[in-house]
Amino acid sequence: MIGYVFFSIALSICAWILALWLNRKFKHEVFNPLVIATIVIIAVIYSLKIDYKDYKVGGDFIAFFLGPSTVVLAVPLYKQVGLVKKYFKAIIIGIVAGSLTAILTVIALSKIMFLSETLEMSIIPRSITTPIGIELSKSLNGIPSITVVAIILSGIIGMLCCDVIFKLFGINNPVAKGVAIGTSSHALGTTKALKKGEIEGSMSGLSIAIAGIVTSIIVAVASFFI
């Protein structure tokens, strides 16, 4: 068991280093470090015929720091407190609308595609940050591993499509861009927002936290009435 712990941690770190190197070399969003690292890890454990549960023993040690690491996003947010106060009402309305839309979209598409209730519940938290999404998935009797995949895909799609959407709808306000990215694409999207500017990054970081809370409240209220 101890051997798997050290192997998993070493594999995760090496895969991440390789992914960062590829990202810096090719400088394209397609080479997202998280995606590349995930592919490398899957390829290694599959080729070595290692059970995922054995890998997860060590992977959980790294996952433990996922939640605390998001606190770092508070730094740029602190510098933009004035903007938060100025646009507070618009920010809250935007996040609530985005969170509600994300949930309703999943429910509608699940019905259209005849997905099972378990799969539907697993995908509902797709637009919020991973730590909250996993816990919400568990409370809905979903499958956390599927939730994580849905969250990653939402983040990647948001990163790749945000510029096109902003241009298509003429969205130029940095606050609006940050709120949109953070609400729909969580931490992965926030990395893109930070590249756009400090305001976009700050608003995106704020939106991650609030969107997670709002989504949890909406789901809890809906579950009470269903």
- pLDDT score, position 70: 64
Q: Which amino acid is at 2?
A: I
Q: Which helix (H) or strand (E) holds 16?
A: helix 2-26
Q: What is the mean pLDDT of residues 88-110?
A: 93
Q: Classify 170 as helix, strand or coil.
A: coil
Contact 72, 188 (CB under 8 A): no
The whole-number average pLDDT for the span 180-198 is 86
pLDDT at residue 225 above 80? no
Which structure tokens are listed for 101? 């839309």
Local confidence band at 98 (pLDDT 50, 70, 90 cut-offs) = very high
Mean pLDDT computed over 72-92: 81
Indicate if the pLDDT at residue 104 is higher than 90: yes
pLDDT tens for 29-77 read: 777 787 888 889 989 988 988 887 788 777 777 777 766 766 666 676 6
pLDDT, residue 25, reads 86
Q: How buried is residue 205: exposed, middle or buried, by Cβ count under 10 Å (0-12/13-18/19+)?
A: buried
Contacts of 214 (CB under 8 A, 6+ apart): 95, 96, 99
Q: Is the pTM of this model over 0.85?
A: no
Residue-level pLDDT at 38? 84
Tokens, residue 130? 């991973």
pLDDT tens for 106-157 read: 999 999 999 999 999 999 998 888 888 888 999 898 998 899 889 988 988 8
Going by C-beta distance under 8 Å and a sequence separation of 6 or more, which residues neighbour residue 44?
11, 15, 50
The pLDDT, as a whole number, for residue 72 is 67
> Tokens in use for 65?
């720091």
CB 90 within 8 A of CB 174: no
* 3 state DSSP class of 129: coil
Please give the pLDDT value at position 40: 92
What mean pLDDT is predicted for residues 84-107? 92
Q: Report the distance separating Cα 69 and Cα 62, nearest Å.
A: 11
